[in-house]
């Protein structure tokens, strides 16, 4: 049974209503929905998967757990659009995408997804950055880098830390984020333009700005030359 037919059937019989779903949908129908998604991951199929909601999350996670899957980005997107309805995915994402090197390339998608479905994601970020001073290895920094934009307000707050070593690591993390750290741009530029700021930290800010905006090196040269 095609996924569109599943949804229409479910609405007619009161199983699904306006995006809410019941576990009355059979396992076979859920399995068929995933197979349809594999054959044609167009917008209509994706929307219908989202409308099925929580009952289909375990099958989506099974697909994520398959290293050969070509649908990972699509599934991360589906989970994000489900929002809190995909909360049963939180333990899986936390366990499988925070430390394991083999999932490194999917980690950014996983963190972004967690930020949309995990109501305690802020606490998760705080826990991750509490040991900033120990992040001498670039690989350690990438754990925070992959958290992306949701982590930036916390990182900017750490730029007020009394320890210069922590501030230096924050600059490096923002630099590694590149254009994805664009919301940090105003704060970094303000620091860079502050003649009273520490010169080394102005250089750090400049490096981060240059990574966020590739055209910035030309804009900042006159300040560095003063």
Q: Locate tokens 């989202």: which residue?
A: 50
Q: Which of 180, 179, 184, 222 is nearest to 205 (CA)?
A: 184
pLDDT value at residue 98: 67
Paired tokens of 18: 């306006």
C-alpha of 16 from chain center: 29
- CB count within 10 Å of CB 39 equals 10
Instruction: Give the orientation angle of helix 121-129 with respect to helix 107-117, to 10 degrees.
Output: 130
Query: Which value, to the nearest 10 degrees, does the dihedral of the CA atoms of residues 154, 178, 97, 33 take?
Result: 110
CA–CA distances in Å: residue 23 to residues 7, 47, 146, 154, 186: 13, 18, 34, 39, 48
The whole-angstrom separation of Cα 107 and Cα 223 is 37
Which segments of the chain have a pLDDT < 50?
1-23
Three-class secondary structure of residue 20 per DSSP: strand
Whole-angstrom distance, CA of residue 133 vs CA of residue 163 = 9
What is the number of other CB atoms lying within 10 angstroms of the CB of residue 186? 10
- H/E stretch holding 209: helix 199-212
Q: What are the CA-CA distances from residue 202 to residues 101, 158, 197 (Å)?
A: 33, 16, 7
Torsion of CA 47, 48, 49, 51, to 10 degrees: 90
Q: How many helices (H) and strands (E) does the chain have?
A: 14, 0
């Amino acid at each position: 049974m095609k996924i569109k037919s599943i949804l229409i059937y479910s609405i007619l019989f009161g199983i699904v209503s306006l995006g809410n779903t019941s576990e009355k949908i059979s396992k076979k129908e859920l399995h068929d929905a995933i197979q349809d998604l594999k054959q044609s991951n167009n917008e209509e199929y994706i929307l219908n998967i989202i409308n099925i909601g929580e009952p289909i999350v375990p099958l989506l996670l099974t697909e994520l757990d398959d290293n050969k899957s070509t649908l990972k980005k699509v599934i991360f997107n589906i989970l994000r659009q489900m929002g809190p309805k995909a909360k049963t995915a939180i333990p899986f994402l936390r366990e499988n995408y925070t430390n394991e090197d083999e999932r490194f390339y999917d980690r950014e998608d996983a963190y972004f997804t967690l930020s949309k479905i995990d109501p305690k994601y802020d606490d998760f970020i705080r826990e991750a950055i509490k040991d900033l001073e120990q992040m001498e290895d670039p690989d350690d920094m990438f754990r925070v880098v992959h958290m992306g934009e949701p982590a930036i307000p916390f990182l900017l707050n750490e730029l007020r830390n009394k320890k210069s070593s922590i501030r230096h690591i924050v600059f490096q993390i923002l630099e590694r984020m590149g254009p994805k750290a664009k919301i940090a741009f105003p704060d970094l530029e303000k620091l860079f333009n502050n003649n009273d700021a520490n010169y080394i930290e102005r250089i750090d800010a400049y490096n981060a700005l240059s990574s966020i905006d590739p055209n910035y090196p030309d804009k900042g040269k006159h300040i560095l030359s003063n």
